[in-house]
Amino acid sequence: MQAPQFLSTYASDVDQALASMLDERSSVVAPALLAAMRYSLLAGGKRIRPALLLECYQTCGGRESGLPSVETIMPAALAIECIHTYSLIHDDLPCMDDDDLRRGNPTCHKQFDEATAVLAADALQALAFELLASANIDSDLRCKLIHSLALASGCQGMVGGQVLDMQAESDSEGMDLLTVERIHLHKTGALLCWCCEAGALLANASEKQFQACSRYGKSVGLLFQIADDILDTTASSVALGKSAGKDEAQNKATYVSVLGLQRARELANEMHELAIAACEPLDRTDAKTSTDSTAANNNKSDHLQALVHYILERGQ
């Protein structure tokens, strides 16, 4: 299972930008706090969320002239990684999932202490909105991205989904597929969908392109969670880089617990097909923007499709 090359390229670019961004704040942030922020933010990972934003931007026209450079939109990609990292720190806390490992290393509250971990996560959340607010893009678009990220990460999105997930632990007998889907459309899917929609908005995408990216993001969000649920059941802690089997131990509402392993894999394939189908409008060239008769045959969404294949393979 090899990650697409473009994913590695984006990850390298994002890692460098994150490190530089933290270095710029080293003189104004308390050293102990900065150390905890740096420890979690630069702990590695595939950087799938920034990659989704950057690739949707490129697919919707970012490779064409007249649009902001990748460097200009990078603050938005860094912002989503700050939000994601803050959520991981909180997820690992004793009051949440009580995990000791993250990406093969001690979790933030184990490496430092619980109070420092909470504050590092809080700082990363605030930093995400600082990055967006200071991005060198159109002011109306800047406000739109800040507003939509607040919705996707807050009580109507990721945080709301986390509460639903916690409540489900005490009501496992009442779990069904619709309930699990509702949890993960919020907890996991909202931020992944935001990445795709934000990339489209930054590229000044057409309404058809935006809706295609939105559909893609929703399908990828569910596929990603299904693959994670399967991996928690089938993979080792070494392979995962975190504690395996915790979903079952904590009575979590997962696709595997509700559907069984085989049906969860079938549903992953269905989400894979929906995501691939969502890419189709992105491969069509708008006649208003191109006079090249061969342009319609170019598969602009090849990278997005490759990412879907990769996520599916993770859970096989």
Domains of the chain: 5-314 (1.10.600.10)
Residue 61's CB is within 10 A of a number of other CB atoms, namely 20
DSSP state, residue 103:
T
Q: Which helix (H) or strand (E) holds 105?
A: strand 105-106
Q: Highest mean pLDDT: which of 95-104, 162-171, 247-256?
A: 95-104
pLDDT of residue 237: 67
Confidence check: pLDDT of 224 > 80: yes
pLDDT of residue 184: 93
> One-letter amino acid identity for 196?
C
> One-letter amino acid identity for 180?
V
Q: Which helix (H) or strand (E) holds 102?
A: strand 101-102
- Residue 294 pLDDT level (bands cut at 50, 70, 90): very low
**Rounded (10°) CA dihedral 175, 84, 156, 281:** -90
CA 102 to chain centre: 16
- Residue 295 pLDDT level (bands cut at 50, 70, 90): very low
204: left (phi over 0), alpha (psi -120 to 50) or beta: left
pLDDT of residue 298: 58
Q: What phi, psi does 101 have (nearest 5°)?
A: -125, 145
| Average pLDDT of span 260-273 | 95
- The residue ranking higher by pLDDT, 243 or 45, is 45
Q: ∠222-223-229 over CA atoms, to 5°?
A: 90
Q: Are 195 and 49 in contact (CB under 8 A)?
A: yes
Least confident piece of the model among 9-23, 113-127, 295-309:
295-309
Confidence check: pLDDT of 297 > 60: no
- The residue ranking higher by pLDDT, 170 or 133, is 133
Q: CB under 8 Å to 234, separation ≥6 — which residues?
A: 261
Q: Which helix (H) or strand (E) holds 183?
A: helix 177-184
pLDDT of residue 288: 39
| Average pLDDT of span 72-96 | 97
